Structure 1
Amino acid sequence: MRVVMFGYQTWGHRTLQALLDSEHEVVLVVTHPRSDHAYEKIWSDSVADLAEKHGVPVLLRNRPGGVELLGALRDAEPDIIVANNWRTWLPSEIFDLPPHGTLNIHDSLLPTYAGFSPLIWALINGEPEVGVTAHRMDAELDMGDVLLQRSVAVGPHDTATDLFHRTVDLIGPLVTESLDLIASGRAVWTPQDRSRSSFFHKRALEDSRIDWTWPAEDLERFVRAQSDPYPNAFTHHRGERIRILSAAVSEGRYGGTPGRIFIREGEGIVIVTGAGARSGRLPGLVIKRVRTEDGTEHAATDYFRTMGGYLTPRP
């Protein structure tokens, strides 16, 4: 089949590599220009560079509008469009243009976690598994019929970085198998169960701010979900922003006011957490490592020299 590819960052790069390695012909690539957005500067393998290396024509677009792009797509005469991590909505005159429509690759187990940063949100929410879905694109973002899914389990100590590496490795085989099914006429499309759908917005600075009224178990996952190179979970101590790099749920139960810097436990410092912390029945969050604004990492036991005082959402 003749394939046009829409994609960006490492997800798009893996998809394009799978297409280039397949028996299908990549006739055009559409990708975004480089971005300064915090979440778009990481996992930033260049789709454009890979296409140009293999002699595939490339168009750079922030959005998919314009007669020039539509004309280029028609001239390419694709049998199918394959998209992965294209950051804006595609109109029907594009996704319905080829005979086989558009196959979108999304890094969640749809219908849950449609939208942006699904791995981070899934880990925050304690999902037991994450994965990748190949589905038909339609007018509703990430809501089209599903062709294939592949998943990996989430371990008790996994970070978002761990899950990224495991799920991105699923992309190549998923793309290859999906196109083989479509080309051979053996594809079976399954409508998504809309009653289970969830849609998440693009992450911003506010989404990394720690709320100490959350339970310690949720905050421990919140820290793991924002591991390097992602923007880290952060709080403020004496007016200075600090990033929490490593944490655990305390063994003891601690009472008081959420955010209180309380006591040393093991290799870390316990922070009182949870809306019901006044009961004294809840565990706290044991902070183990922090990073200050100058980029220096500290063991929490070195950084918090004295107990008392509070960690706060804002200065």
Structure 2
Amino acid sequence: MFGYQTWGHRTLQALLKSRHEVCLVVTHPASDHVYESIWADSVEDLARSEGIETYLAKRPTDDLIQRVKALAPDVMVANNWRTRLPEELFTIPRLGTLNLHDSLLPQFTGFSPVVWALISGASHTGLTAHLMDAELDTGDILVQRAVEITPTSTGTSLVLATLDLIAEVLEEALDQLEFGTAKPVPQDLSARTFFHKRSDRDSVVDWTWPAADIERFIRALSDPFPNAYTYFRGERLRLIKAHVSRCMYGGTPGRVFIEEDGGMVIVAGADAYRGRSPGIVLDVVRTDDGVDHDAMAYFGHGGGYLTSRP
């Protein structure tokens, strides 16, 4: 098994509860990258606690390839392995390599798929088990399960929902391979969407977005993810809770405007100057000292602008 973080940990847990023998676990060393230091249940610790041979690597090495060849596994399973596996490695098992990816492929290939799915306005996310090929997340699909994205879904709730699918999806896919019942379905790569790794820059709010998109963005970046943030008079503000306004507000995007329903309205939308767009109502903001504030108490009154830089 190749895996990392909570996704790999849940996958190894499922394999340990199954009838299958895990002969080798390959995982990455611990990382301080912001998106790799959260959801960070240790695959290494679990494997070692079960007495399973464990190999740490940032990327596959010739030594690792030779070790896998020597083991001659029936199948390999990968979940959240962060670098490309070469063909000379993933073709070693006689039944191939099964990859688990937390999206409904071919949509949201790549990185942080659950967060990007919510940000983008997709109606569903999910989990896909597919056979690995030479490209990233493009192999034939064996099993797929969907999770609905609702108006109250957060990035965190969706991650938890997709994690809960791992055991059943993995078991079904392995059964198909073992008993020869698999009917791999090629992906329609013309419908593929490919998303990059997220970084700090990707959490900055763009106030020219429509209010509904900003509200969804804030929900996508729920704790423990790096929250959506903006700047007010030189101070960074993380946006914890918000909703779309009832009324239409006009002016310049980012303007701190007026109270509505107990929160502070921020003018939003590229065409806000027409006065036909709702605003985003901030309910809870967080300062860099980690303290959450009622937005009205923090701002006190309207005036000034929220910006992408100090």
The TM-score with structure 2 as length reference comes to 0.99
Which residue does the alignment assign to 1:235? 230
Q: Does 1:286 align with 2:281?
A: yes
Give the AA of the match of 1:55: G
Correspondent of 2:245 among 236, 241, 250: 250
Shift of 1:23: 1.0
Which residue does the alignment assign to 2:54? 58
Correspondent of 2:264 among 257, 265, 269: 269
Matched residues in 1 for 2:251 and 2:237: separation? 22
**RMSD after superposition:** 0.6
Mapping 1:150-189, distance limit 5 Å: 150-189=145-184
Matched residues in 2 for 1:267 and 1:189: separation? 53
Shift of 1:73: 0.7
Q: Does 1:302 align with 2:297?
A: yes
Shift of 1:33: 0.4
Structure 2 unaligned regions, length at least 5: none
Q: Does 1:43 align with 2:44?
A: no
2:106 partner SS? coil
1:25 partner SS? coil
Matched residues in 2 for 1:129 and 1:267: separation? 31
Instruction: Answer whether contact 2:258 2:301 (CA < 8 A) is retained.
Output: no
Mapping 1:70-81, distance limit 5 Å: 70-81=65-76
Q: Does 1:18 align with 2:10?
A: no
Shift of 1:255: 0.3
Which residue does the alignment assign to 1:96? 91
Identity percentage of aligned residues: 59
Q: Does 1:201 align with 2:196?
A: yes
Moved over 3 A (4+): none
Structure 1 unaligned regions, length at least 5: none
Correspondent of 2:119 among 100, 124, 135: 124
Matched residues in 2 for 1:18 and 1:188: separation? 23
Matched residues in 2 for 1:252 and 1:281: separation? 9
Matched residues in 2 for 1:89 and 1:136: separation? 14
Which residue does the alignment assign to 1:149? 144
User: When the two structures are aligned, how many residues end up with a matched partner?
Assistant: 310
Q: Does 1:27 align with 2:23?
A: yes
1:283 partner SS? strand
Matched residues in 2 for 1:23 and 1:85: separation? 23
Shift of 1:76: 1.4
Show CA shifts across 1:182-239 (max 9, x none): 1000011000001110000000000000010000000000000000000000000000
Which residue does the alignment assign to 2:309? 314
Shift of 1:306: 2.0
Give the AA of the match of 2:39: W
1:167 partner SS? helix
Q: Does 1:224 align with 2:219?
A: yes
Give the AA of the match of 1:210: V
2:70 partner SS? helix
Matched residues in 1 for 2:102 and 2:44: separation? 21
